[in-house]
Every structure is written in C-alpha cells, then in structure tokens.
Amino acid sequence: MAKEKFERTKPHVNIGTIGHVDHGKTTLTAAITMTLAEAGGATAKAYDEIDGAPEEKARGITISTAHVEYETENRHYAHVDCPGHADYVKNMITGAAQ
C-alpha cells in the first residue's frame, strides 16, 4: 500500500520554550495543548506526559527535550520544550543557530 502524499495546507511555525529551571516551561506547553485540544487543534498532553522519563519524574525537572505538535485555524506549530539548566540552554541555542 502506497503512502499518501503529505500536503501542508497551513504555514508551519517552530516554537521553543526556554528559560530558568522551575519557571513553568513544561506547564505552559501542557496548558497550550489542553487549551487547543478543546478547539480540536491538538491532543491534550498532561505535564507528566511531556516530562515522561522516570528520571524526570523522580527529580521533578526536565532533562530531555520534548516535541509537541498542535495547530490553530491559521497555522501548524511544532513546539520544543527544552530543559532549563544552563548547559542545556546553551547547547540548544548553539544548535538552533546553526
């Protein structure tokens, strides 16, 4: 069976949440998906689904990046929720700039 050809009908926007540790980056990401899920533009993701690794749950912090997709009436979004530790942020900014 052949794959269907993917056709993008909306402009694509990349979003990243970065900031200090415990300043609500993952909480914001979860809130966006919950809000847009009510409008049918996303699959709701709870905080613990985004920070799903056992180490993240045990320590209460984000260790790895999480990728979430959602859309509004006019755009499609790819959202990267980044860890807040200085080394992670530095590496993420360096990688994004390349």
Distance CA 45, CA 37 (A): 9
Are the C-beta atoms of 20 and 83 separated by less than 8 Å? no
> What is the Cα 75 distance to its own chain's centre?
15
Distance CA 3, CA 5 (A): 6
Positions annotated as catalytic residues are: 22, 25-26, 85
Are the C-beta atoms of 74 and 10 separated by less than 8 Å? yes
Q: What is the largest CA-CA distance in the chain?
A: 47
